Amino acid sequence: MRRLFATLCFLTIVVVSASAQSTEPPTRVAVLDFGETSFGKTAADKLRTALRSTSSIQLIDRDLSKAAALGVGYTGSLNLSLPEARNLGAAIETDFYIIGEAQALRRSSSQVPVFYESYASIFVISSRTGRLLNWERSSFEADTATAAEEKLISHLSNGETIQHCLKTIRRALDDERNERVVLEVNAPIIEEAPDDDSTAAEQGLRLPRPYRRLRPTYPDTAARAEAEATVDVVVDIGADGEVTKVQVARWAGFGLDDTTVATVRQMHFFPAMRNGTPIPMRVLLRYNFRKPTQ
């Protein structure tokens, strides 16, 4: 009898658990237009149509999303700080949102006098954290603008593109749930650096200084997109002058965030000092990326 009772209890728990999972609300996702051109709007519409057929996604109305974005001053930038990205997501009232740029351009090269390139840069952002979760840039070439556009539209409509977006969102949902559970009870308290040297001097502080100033490389992924942007990183520097943590505070995609983080992790610092004693400190480092001159 006890065994039967235990079995029934177990089955009840399983049924309740399954029921709870099945009643989870769909994830709210918004797709903003990929620029102001008619092709940019068409490309975004194709992605919306594909996402709308996914039962786990509640797609936010295009006009409502656009109005909310304009209300907080968003004009299409793909280079946002975390607070800016969070504010945009909060205004749209969505869990995740997708922004980007899509165009079809006339090109020429030494091998081909005239051809057309269509491209779409797509960024997936978490409204809760403001982080750039994933970026991709798809590009297609053809003899005519129409043919190039059709290739890109077909790519945006296929199942692979949508599954990639959904996989990114699902992974972020799991990661963010885990972040809420984990408590860094033993995390050291890191003092944030004052805004300038004079303020630091008034507080008896000397700010950290790098042994050698390293410059992040401009990656090929950014060169292909002709990307120009600013990347901010928040860096924790220990009392020994070693970098202990690097977090992106303003993202840019196109491989610029990755090259910045990788470079900063290689740096060594003279540590911050308070009245002659080394102390850990958190600093903000900014890197401006421009297209290399030919």
Q: Is the pLDDT of residue 11 over 60?
A: no
- Predicted confidence band of residue 187 (pLDDT cuts 50, 70, 90): low
Q: For strand 269-270 and strand 209-210, is the pairing parallel, antiparallel, or unpaired? A: antiparallel
Q: Is the pLDDT of residue 226 over 60?
A: yes
What are the pLDDT digits (tens) for 86-104? 999 999 999 999 999 999 9
124: left (phi over 0), alpha (psi -120 to 50) or beta: beta
What is the enclosing helix (H) or strand (E) of 262? helix 256-265
Low-confidence winner among 11-20, 34-43, 182-191, 242-251 (lowest mean pLDDT): 11-20
* pLDDT over 70, % of the chain: 88
**Which domains, from first to last, does the chain contain?**
25-179 (3.40.50.10610), 191-289 (3.30.2420.10)
- Predicted confidence band of residue 186 (pLDDT cuts 50, 70, 90): low
Residue appearing with tokens 């994830």:
27
Q: Is the pLDDT of residue 53 over 50?
A: yes
